[in-house]
Amino acid sequence: MSDIYHECGVAAVYHLPGQGRSPLCPDQGPEETSRLIPRMLLDIQNRGQLAAGITSYHPRRSQLIDTHKDVGTVNEVFRLAHQTDYEKLMREYSGPAAIGHVRYATCGPDDRSYAQPFERHHLQKHKWFSFAFNGQLANYQELRDKLLSDGDHHLARETDTEIFMHELSRELSGDRRPTLLEMIRNVNARLDGAYTLALLNASGDMLVARDPLGIKPLCWAKEGPLFAAASESVALLNLGFKPENIRSLEPGGAITITDGRFSVGRFVESSRSAHCFFEWVYFANVASTLDDRSVYLSRTALGEELARLELESGDVSLTDAVVVPVPDTSKAAADAMAFRLGIPSREGLIRNRYSGRTFIESGQGRRRKAQTKYTPLREVLEGRRIFLVEDSIVRSTTMKVLLNRIREYGGAKEIHVRVACPPIVAPCFYGIDMSTVDELFAPKFLQGRELTLEIQAEMAEALEADSLRYLPIDSIARAIRFREDQLCRACITGAYPTPHGQQLYQIALKNAGNGAARTYERQLAETTG
């Protein structure tokens, strides 16, 4: 599934003072710790390909914290293919502490000013900070209106990241000197939504925090003097941290480094979690482990669920059948399904890794991108009965193109689409770019009804597939090994874990069929118009 995207990922590193060199970086001094950020961002590039950036801290630099960011991939922004340019950047932004960010946006245009980290300058060091933010605030409109109501505040961008910056700044205003834990606790009390945060100030203090529901993932590790955190565990594993030392930050948890002292604690007690199930289904790197659940094993379990349903129905012959994954996130599920069915799993679609991502375009542009993104292998597909395994179907643009190409260029005899996820029936207001009901494929057919074989047959006809099967909702919790009430499943159930998320869904339902504006934009129009 390649026609939706996540908006960002965060990373942080800190070489704690007075403890010598880290054995993980034997060739680098503590002041070169910031060099680890581009490596980490490469491992979470799947979370955002629009922009990337770094803020580093160096106590002997006139710019105590300094930020480099731009539109582009990690390779482009950090000039990784140009050794001289890269080395110059790393020297300029060297330091014992740094935070980093990769971005794709759910709101705001595609220009450098929206790239993160966001840096706020101030004469006082504890008020001069930079932060990287992953998530989305469902009560953005309420916070925006409150900020602008007194006439003393100005917002330069239409993004909740700037709202977050103002909320952090408010806690530092006047003579206030809250601890980092107190600051995030006070800010959180005004927020409704999902976030992970990495903050660095000009005193060299760092804060890493995760929202009280744990909607967005955040992993961390510490070995000797080196601390690191990232949206996914794979970024820490590839730095050399031992797997047993990599853990997920608890919902409502925070890590602070103040005056060189490291501490793990909670800024708020959390009675429940609402982890985004889509991390395990699609977004996260298959090599990651999030909240003690392996992404690979979760996707394998989803494939086994698909196989179980296939064996129970028995309505498609397995003679001359082959399972084909849609690259790359569907492969684990496809392999597991094929193994249980006793038929081959083959890479009948080859992904062109240099074609760009289809979500960058819209409408006809997305279709053209999809046509060049996958090449069908006729040697695998011709004359075969294909079980095409996809992790999810959101807008269906890519799926329609794929089915056409598999028939026309691959010569497949039959194509049976199997989706390792239930139908997406509701928008996301916590950081996935699907904000309206109209843009979704499934609601047009379901219209509030339960999923039936007849409805799936109608969907298959619309896609021009021979058949279509989704997983039932209860299979998700089983595969990921969380209870249903520990997951955010709003996009497949319409039940949101926060009040403002539920309110936005009602706006989305009300405006279904009235145009393609994002629900945020609808809310703004209804409030100000």
Active site residues: 8
Instruction: Tally the C-alpha atoms within 13 A of residue 442's C-alpha that lie toward its C-beta.
Output: 25
| Cis-peptide, bond into residue 117, ω within 30° of zero | yes
Peptide bond into 150 cis (omega under 30): no
Total number of residues shown for the chain = 529
Give the number of other CB atoms < 10 A from CB of residue 360: 14
SS3 377: coil
Which residues contact residue 213 at a Cβ distance below 8 angstroms, ignoring those fewer than 6 apart?
A: 194, 251, 270, 272, 273, 274, 275, 488, 497, 498
d(CA 398, CA 368): 10
What is the residue whose two structure tokens read 């003072």?
A: 17
DSSP state of 47: G
- Structure-token match 């582009």, residue found: 72
User: CB-based burial of residue 514 (10 Å sphere; 0-12 exposed, 13-18 middle, 19+ buried)?
Assistant: exposed
Query: Which 8-state DSSP code applies to residue 404?
Result: H
Task: Classify the phi-psi angles of 228: left when phi > 0, otherwise alpha if psi is within -120 to 50, otherwise beta.
Answer: beta
Instruction: Tokens 């992404």: give the residue.
Output: 295
- The identity of residue 423, as a single letter, is P
The candidate with the shortest Cα–Cα distance to 337, out of 363, 370, 311, 375, is 311
Amino acid, single-letter form, for residue 16: L
Could you give the strand order of the β-sheet that contains 97-103, starting from the edge strand earlier in sequence?
65-71, 51-57, 97-103, 8-15, 226-230, 219-223, 247-248
16 SS3 class: coil
Q: How far is CA 181 from CA 162, 229, 270, 386, in A?
A: 20, 17, 15, 54
Instruction: Report the greatest alpha carbon distance in the chain.
Output: 75
DSSP of 354-374: TS--GGGS-THHHHHHHHHHE
DSSP 441-475: STHHHHTTPPP-HHHHHHHHHHHT-SEEEEPPTHH
> Who's near 406: CB < 8 A, 6+ residues apart?
348, 349, 376, 381, 386, 388, 412, 415
**Beta-sheet strands, E only, within 373-443:** 374-376, 385-390, 414-419
Q: d(Cα 444, Cα 214) in Å, to the nearest integer?
A: 31
